[in-house]
Structure 1
Amino acid sequence: MWGNLFQTADLLEKGIGADWLRNEVISNNISNADTPGFKVSEVEFEDVLASAISTGGLELKTTRDGHLSGGSAGLSSAEPVITTSETTAYRTDDNNVDIEAQMVDLAQNSLHYYTLVSKLNSEFRRLNLAITGGN
């Protein structure tokens, strides 16, 4: 019962972290729009999370001898992955950054980030109300 108390907050925190990382990657792409040979990078998180949901969780990671092996660590262990796209270049200098697409992605990511922050704040208010009883 108590183990799932912060599950929603943990998932929202993972999403916020992925959006923060995506913001950094998009900003790097925009900064290197004029760098010859630069290849655009992307953050993949939603597919990792969807995979974790469909399989019922992710495998436990053991980093010490005392850790349990096997089983499921839950969805909160889903981590974002940065990939580099080696697709067609938009310019003759082999750079493949589409600045307009990156600006749209940055705006969408900002909206998504602030939505998740708002949901996390709402979750904390809900938990606070449950703990204090509204006093």
Structure 2
Amino acid sequence: MNTSFAKTIDILQRNMATASLRRQVIANNIANAETPDFKRSYVNFEAELSRALASEKLDTPIGVLTHERHIPFSETIDYRDVRPKLVLDYLTAAKNNGNNVDIERELMQATENQMLYELMSNAVGFQFDQIDIVLR
């Protein structure tokens, strides 16, 4: 069943699961804010999901493959194959002890993440409210 409703609910569910994972990662970063040589982590998901959804819209191939072993010009990425990735941030250094956790940034991201989770939860509720209206 690949309806618009099912796809919307699936994407919202995946985003909510990612937000839950992100909450755990942010909590771990905050807990280790004073640990020497600790490197903060973050979750990468939305960019890959956006790329997968954009690839579904490509109807016409950019080029024609003349052999099965040629590298394709563009590939459709199934959004269901996109998974959240935990990434270690080695590029920034906020403190002299090698720790790169900025507590203010983490708290801001925790608040933003919580707001996004609530928004997605409300969107799921709205989707089911629409079904309820149709069934009445």
Normalised to the residue count of structure 2, the TM-score between the two structures is 0.79
Counterpart of 1:53 in structure 2 is 53
* Number of residue equivalences: 118
Give ranges in structure 2 of 5+ residues lacking alignment: 58-74
Distance (whole Å) between structure 2 residues aligned to residue 75 and residue 29 of structure 1: 28
Is 1:3 the counterpart of 2:7? The answer is: no
Residue correspondence of structure 1 range 25-40 to structure 2 within 5 A: 25-40=25-40
Counterpart Cα distance in 2 of 1:128 and 1:7? 18
Structure ranking higher on relative contact order (CA contacts 8 Å, 6+ apart):
2
Out of 118, 129, 135, the residue aligned to residue 122 of structure 2 is 118
Q: Does 1:127 align with 2:126?
A: no
Find the counterpart in structure 1 of residue 69 from structure 2. Answer: none
1:92 aligns with 2:96: yes
The 3-state SS of whatever aligns with 1:6 is: helix
Q: CA deviation at 1:73?
A: 7.3
TM-score by length of 1: 0.79
Two-structure CA RMSD over aligned residues (Å): 1.9
Amino acid paired to 1:105: Q
| Cα distance in 2 for residues equivalent to 1:37 and 1:7 | 42
Q: CA deviation at 1:86?
A: 0.5
CA contact (8 A) 2:53 2:77 kept: no
Deviation at 1:77, TM superposition (A): 3.1
Deviations 1:57-78 (A, max 9, x none): 8xxxxxxxxxxxxx96742332
- Secondary structure of 2:35's counterpart equals coil
